Amino acid sequence: MTAYRRGPLRRAVLAAVTASALLGAAACGGAGASPDGAETPPAAAVSATGAPAAAPSPSGPPATVPETLKFAAKTLDGRAFDTAALAGRPVVLWFWAPWCATCASQAWTVAEVAPAYRDRVPVIGVAGLGQQKAMKDFVTEFELGGVPQLDDRAGAVWRRFEVVEQSTFVILDRGGKVIHRGFLDGEDLTRRLATLAQV
C-alpha cells in the first residue's frame, strides 16, 4: 500500500486512519447523514479523461453505451461529464466524502495509480455527503487533480449505484455490468486495476 504523506490536514487524518485500521473498519459510515447533518450526496456527470467531450473507444468505433452509464453528471469544477465516453472499457467509481478518514487514507493510492490506467480502466471519483468547498479542498490536499471527480452532493449517482456508505468502490466491466461493490484497500485496488487493464 502507498505510504501516507504528512501535511496540514494529513496529520489529523493519519491519527483517525490508524485508529480505524486497528478496528478493522472498512468504511466511515452510512450515506444517510454527514457530521454537519447534510443529506445524501448529489447528482453527477461522467467523462473517462475528465474532458467534457465524448471520446471514441480506443479500439475503433464508439461502443454501445450500457444503461448503467446513461446518466448526467458534472465535475467539481462545474463541467458536464460525458458518461458515454466510458463505454467499452472497465470503469472504477470511487464514492467518497471529504470528512471520511478512510477515504483520505485511500486518496494517495488513487492519486498515484489511477492516472496510469486512465485510457484503459478509468477511475472516477464520486464526491458526496459534504459541501463543495470541502470536496475541492480534499482533491487539492490529496493531489487528486489527475482523477476526474464528480460533484454528487444531491446523491443521484450514489443512489443509482446503490451505494450506502463511503468509502465504496463500484467496478463495472466492459459491458457496464457491476462486478464489485464495496471496500477496497490500496493493494486490492492496484491489483484489480492491473487485472482489468489486461482483459
CATH number of residue 166's parent domain: 3.40.30.10
Residue 110 structural domain: 8-55+63-198
In a domain, 89, yes or no: yes
Whole-number pLDDT of residue 59: 53
Per run of 10 residues, the mean pLDDT along the chain (length 199 residues) is: 42 39 43 42 40 42 84 94 93 97 94 94 95 96 95 95 94 95 94 92
Whole-number pLDDT of residue 6: 40
Cα–Cα distance measured from residue 88 to residue 3, given in angstroms and rounded to the nearest whole number? 33
For cell 461502443, the residue is 63
User: What cell was used for 174?
Assistant: 466492459
In a domain, 144, yes or no: yes
Q: What is the DSSP string of 157-168?
A: HHHHTT--EESE
In a domain, 3, yes or no: no
Residue 27 per-residue DSSP state? -
In a domain, 117, yes or no: yes
In a domain, 2, yes or no: no
Q: How many domains does the chain have?
A: 1
> Mutual orientation of helices 101-113 and 132-141 as an angle, nearest 10°?
50
Whole-number pLDDT of residue 54: 36
In a domain, 1, yes or no: no
Threshold 0.85, pTM exceeds: no
Whole-number pLDDT of residue 62: 62
